[in-house]
Structure 1
Amino acid sequence: MNDTDMTYHPYAILGEDRPSRWLVTCDHAANTVPPCVGSGDLGVAAEDMARHIAYDVGAAGVTRHLSELLDAPAILSNFSRLVIDPNRGEDDPTLVMKLYDGTIIPANRHVDREERDRRLNAFHRPYHRAIARLAARQSNSVILAMHSYTPQLKGREKRPWHIAILHDRDSRLASPLIARLREEPDLCVGENEPYGGHLDGDSIDRHAVLTGRVNVLIEIRNDLIETEDQQRCWAERLAPILTETLAKTGL
């Protein structure tokens, strides 16, 4: 990064000194294109940069409110997943997307290994170093990864789930949380929907599964968290459920 980028930072940390064992992460918090990438422009239309292809709509707001309610630190990325996806391993072929849900990403068309490595060093790696540092602050940290998903991909069926819990190798917290959420009569709760819960090298794999930390990944359908009020309401609903469920597991 050059001198003109000094005001840019690839992530934000909230409440670093909060005492809770929870650590709330938001890998796809922002649709920011840093100044050193295409002068801040990927060549993607503004309406597409406002869609799920660029970030997890609403997830940052839920993360902020949850971190306050849980009295926990939170870390949020500050670069679009179209720049480089922080929820992918460094050798994942979808790390830098050239086409996503029907939209071509012009600035990524000719990304080579050198440019990929530059983006890894500028954005992806600093973000993950910060997560690792925060997660290590307590011996019993619990990783809570917040995401959102679009109600419908182009040409695909509508997704009925209001909320989904993703897991694979570690279900210690995920399974009881799914059971608890399914007690809520107004919720359609998905398990590993609308996609599977594990990719080698993804954030949960890297900071929780491989380190043995208790963890859960929550996905909320993004049309339900478009506004500040909706984000706050979901956080207020989830915080006591998360606290109760973790306590009951004895983890």
Structure 2
Amino acid sequence: MPDGSHSRTTEPPPFGTEGEDRGSRWLVTCDHATNRVPGWVNGGDLGIAPADMARHIAWDVGALGVARALAARLDAPAVWSDFSRLVIDPNRGEDDPTLLMRLYDGTVIPANRAADAAERDRRLDRLHRPYHAALGRLAAAHPARAICAIHSFTPQLQGRPPRPWVLGILYSHRDARLGPALVQACRDEGWVTGDNQPYSGHLQGDSVDRHALAHGRPNVLVEIRNDLIADAAGQQAWADRLAPVLERVLHDSGL
């Protein structure tokens, strides 16, 4: 297995940014933006089928397109990871046991089964930490920063009932300043909206915890059903819908 030491200067950065000079107080983030596996990780192959790498287990399908379009509509900067969540999950704290998933929604991840502490630290050093450094830098670049994290979810997990929502608004019990108001605003638009569904809005050490809650920054996490944003038209449409609602909710909050 190549150790990648010769390629550090030529490999692409593990994150992307756009609009760093935009003036909005919003920062749009996308933790699970791509399904890229760097060549130095098991030769660029996690050992699972291409069809599985295209599924939600490897990335948040459609989320990056929404995040970039939404950031443009908000005149806000955007930052996103550029590595698969199966390589190492940027939306997990460094001590989270699910940082390197060995089994996800019925799929075994062979390249992670034998990953030891040294491999975990290598992936942290070369992927996870640089992404969070970029996110932290952009979060701190505006004195009144508010963070909107964009994710997507699959309509149905294997062996589970279909999920009824078109989107979910997630927020922590430690900061409900924007989340409940955004849930109501989305429902007022006629969208079937989950309130901390399909996932809980609080995860110790995750990106929102680290870059928003720990600094008192207003925040929301938006989960969009991925079949609705599978193409560029759907991604732009949801960005166009969400932007004015986000602006209104933040304005009305008085924060």
What band does the TM-score fall into relative to the shorter chain? over 0.9
Deviation for aligned residue 1:84: 0.2
| Per-residue deviation, residues 92-128 of structure 1 (Å, max 9, x unmatched) | 1100000000001010010111110110000000000
Aligned to 1:2: 5
CA distance in 2, matches of 1:143, 1:244: 15
Structure 1 segment 146-225 matched on structure 2, within 5 A: 146-168=150-172, 169-185=174-190, 187-225=191-229
The runs of at least 4 aligned residues of structure 1 exceeding 2 Å deviation read: 1-5
CA distance in 2, matches of 1:7, 1:36: 9
Task: State which of 63, 67, 86 in structure 2 corresponds to 1:63.
Answer: 67
> TM-score of the superposition, structure 1-length normalised?
0.98
> TM-score of the superposition, structure 2-length normalised?
0.96
Structure 1 segment 100-119 matched on structure 2, within 5 A: 100-119=104-123
Aligned to 2:83: 79
Unpaired segments ≥5 residues, structure 1: none
| Per-residue deviation, residues 182-209 of structure 1 (Å, max 9, x unmatched) | 1012x11101111111111000000001
Q: Give the residue type in structure 1 aligned to 2:6.
A: D
CA distance in 1, matches of 2:105, 2:11: 32
CA distance in 2, matches of 1:3, 1:64: 32
Deviation for aligned residue 1:87: 0.3
Percent identical: 60
CA distance in 1, matches of 2:12, 2:184: 42
CA distance in 1, matches of 2:57, 2:18: 25
Aligned to 1:245: 249
Q: Give the residue type in structure 2 aligned to 1:223.
A: D
CA distance in 2, matches of 1:240, 1:34: 37
Q: Give the residue type in structure 2 aligned to 1:229.
A: A
Any idea what SS the aligned residue of 1:108 has?
A: helix
CA distance in 1, matches of 2:71, 2:6: 33
Deviation for aligned residue 1:4: 2.6
CA distance in 1, matches of 2:5, 2:228: 39
What root-mean-square deviation, in Å, do the aligned CA atoms of Structure 1 and Structure 2 show?
A: 0.8
Aligned to 2:140: 136
Deviation for aligned residue 1:225: 0.5
CA distance in 2, matches of 1:4, 1:70: 37
Any idea what SS the aligned residue of 2:240 has?
A: helix
Structure 1 segment 26-105 matched on structure 2, within 5 A: 26-105=30-109
Deviation for aligned residue 1:36: 0.9
CA distance in 2, matches of 1:70, 1:146: 14
CA distance in 1, matches of 2:22, 2:63: 20
Equivalenced residue count is 250
